[in-house]
Amino acid sequence: MLSSILMQATAVMDTGSTGFMLLATSLVMLMTPALAMFYGGLATKRNILAIMIQSFVSLGWTTVLWVFFGYSLCFSGGDGGIIGNFDKAFLSGISMDTLWAGNGKIPEFVFIAYQMMFAIITPALITGAFVNRVSFKAYFIFLTVWQILVYYPFVHMIWGGGLLAHWGVLDFAGGIVVHATAGFAALAAVFYVGARVDKNSTPNSIPLVAIGSGLLWFGWYGFNAGSEVQVDNITSLAFLNTDIAASFATIAWLAVEWIRERKPKFVGLLTGSIAGLATITPCAGFVPLWASPLIGISAGLVCYLAVQFKNKMKWDDALDVWGVHGMGGVLGTILLGVFASKSVNAAGADGLLFGSGSFLLKQIVAVVGASAYAFGFTYLMLIIINLITPVRVSESEELQGLDNSLHGERAYDEGAL
């Protein structure tokens, strides 16, 4: 009787954590329009709207899927398994008074919305790889199937109490779940779709790229600090780790590019910040503060070299999704296996530097397996989609530009004064 009373007493909404999580959810939502601006500025003038709509459509369609069955498949049932069940399909059995079982501090509605924002942006990350080559119809099918058969299983396996969580794999905010899977899916898409006819990739608006990257950085505080799903000392650690790693990565990328090309490049600086943000994501709430500069410097250097390797191999990943997000996610997941410490977060693990080589091995196996699956499944899925509708646009449509040929719109009215 006493234990029942105590449980009821503790199951009270924490207004501070709830308010913070509503803010974090809003910040992560902002990241999708920010991504659209980042990619839109990097695209050529004839393909601005085509790349931006691929991000914005996810805001609508992913929400529909999430409410119908996505949330349920990720966070309902399936303990120790690969995927959840349909017990919470259409958000069945959840009311505004239902507290999230993970900590009993915030309404489950808030957790649903927060995780939905992750689901929205993850497939949108992939689109930068195949800018101005893929039809909108094929992308819409891709957006649907990829979430169901790649994103949902990894969310469940790591964050939903599934297989990898039971094995001891950690991912604070999405190094495996978001960045590694999206980055290697992007590489598969590049291999399948092939190179652009016109490989001119001169950004049409670097100021738009700067606005997009600045808003991504801003939103990333909600992405990483919000992944603690409450307000405590880990929340503040994740926040500061995020900023420090991003800053060190920015300067590392700027420095190495300046040395190699004899000029400091603004687009490179901005790209370096995204590399640092992607790399610190799995580590943010599990590693000590002193590790974040090392993670940031590693991100700037490794992701820069990955992009150079991609260029040498002539892989036409137009906006460097694999080199920045894919390799950033892999690197961050592995470095988590090195720097994680239970003295920092008791819910985490001890990494290699703190005496646990087995945890590092688990992280490596998990991220390599996830990347390989995302790559293989994406390539196979594109083959199947192509049997339903052509994945790649025609050469004439590509040369004309997808804004006009597919959408009948233009980003700028060049006839206007």
Confidence (pLDDT) at 415:
62
Confidence band (pLDDT; 50, 70, 90) for 121? very high
pLDDT(227) > 90:
yes
Confidence band (pLDDT; 50, 70, 90) for 201? confident
Of the chain, the percentage scoring pLDDT greater than 70 comes to 96
- Determine if residue 317 is left, alpha or beta; phi over 0 gives left, psi from -120 to 50 gives alpha, anything else beta: beta
Burial of 388 (0-12, 13-18, 19+ CB in 10 A): exposed
Confidence (pLDDT) at 400:
92
Predicted TM-score of the model (pTM): 0.95
The full length of the chain comes to 417
pLDDT(46) > 80:
yes
pLDDT(368) > 60:
yes
Q: Which of 60, 80, 83 lies closest to 143, judged by CA?
A: 60
pLDDT(1) > 90:
no
Confidence band (pLDDT; 50, 70, 90) for 10? low
The domains of the chain are located at 15-402
Measure the CA–CA gap between 114 and 57, rounded to whole angstroms.
Answer: 18
Confidence (pLDDT) at 199:
72
Q: Point out the least confidently predicted range of 144-158, 187-201, 378-392.
A: 187-201
From the options 1.10.10.10, 3.40.50.360, 1.10.3720.10, 1.10.3430.10, give the CATH code of 15-402.
Answer: 1.10.3430.10
